[in-house]
Amino acid sequence: MPYTDTRRSRDSGDNGNARTIVRIDVTMNKTILFSRQAIEEAITELARRINADYRGRPLVVVGILKGSFVFLADLIRKLDLDVTVDFVVLGSYGSGTTTSGEVKMLKDLSAPIEGKDVLVVEDIVDTGVTLTFFMDTLRRRRPASLAICALIDKKARREVQIDVQYVGIEMEDGFIVGYGIDCNEQYRNLPDIWVLRDEDGS
């Protein structure tokens, strides 16, 4: 049975309803919750593939802040490669659960990537707008190679075609939080991934 977390978010939804974190039973509702164990298994498999594909080559891992920071921290500790880490801050979502459609680079990389193998690490690929913008920006800097590793792929909501070489977990629609992923800066510290719903269950 689904059950409701005792914590309630202080913010309100667009319709003014309070939001509640609801843990969804995967089989009953076809809405997905990812436990910390499921996340760990997905990351182990991602790391296995990345280790095999980049064996013997230094890799620049680029995290998109803030959503990817927990995922990136777990992923790189499973990489048996010569890894360096850099971060960017991109702004796409304003506040709440809908995208503004506009992408800005709020903090750039701290080092050049020309001639390097670069792996971009993202929490969620949703419409694909954010990553399309960012990959175009990075491509102009002439890295030796450029690939994307996303923990979550919401394929059904894609608006722009984008190749994501490494996907941890696929899901349908639904707004999720936890494991670094936020709603209005809350819930990043939850060790599992939860679905956020309005109180009326929508």
Are 182 and 16 a contacting pair, CB within 8 Å? Answer: no
Site string for ligand IMP, 56-85 (x = CB under 6 A): -----------x------------------
- Dist. CA 130–CA 60, nearest whole Å: 20
From the list 9-17, 51-59, 80-88, 169-177, the region that binds ligand IMP by CB under 6 A is 169-177
Q: Given candidates 87, 175, 179, 194, which one binds ligand IMP under the rule CB under 6 A?
A: 175
Q: Is the preceding omega at residue 66 within 30 degrees of 0, hence cis? A: yes
Which residue do the tokens 């707008």 mark?
129
* Residue 128 interacting with Mg ion (CB under 5 A): no
d(CA 33, CA 1): 13
Task: Scan residues 9-68 and list those touching Mg ion (CB under 5 A).
Answer: 67
Active site residue 126: yes
Q: What angle do CA 123, 1, 200 make, to 5 degrees?
A: 70
User: What is the C-alpha to C-alpha distance for residues 29 and 6, in angstroms, rounded to an integer?
Assistant: 20
Residue 181 sits in the site that holds ligand IMP (CB under 6 A):
yes
Q: Does 9 bind ligand IMP (CB under 6 A)?
A: no
Indicate which residue of 74, 117, 126, 198 is catalytic. Answer: 126
Contact flag: residue 121 with ligand IMP (CB under 6 A): no
Q: Which two tokens stand for residue 153?
A: 């792929």
Interface residue list for ligand IMP (CB under 6 A): 67, 92-93, 99, 122-130, 175-177, 181
The residues annotated with a catalytic role in the active site are 126
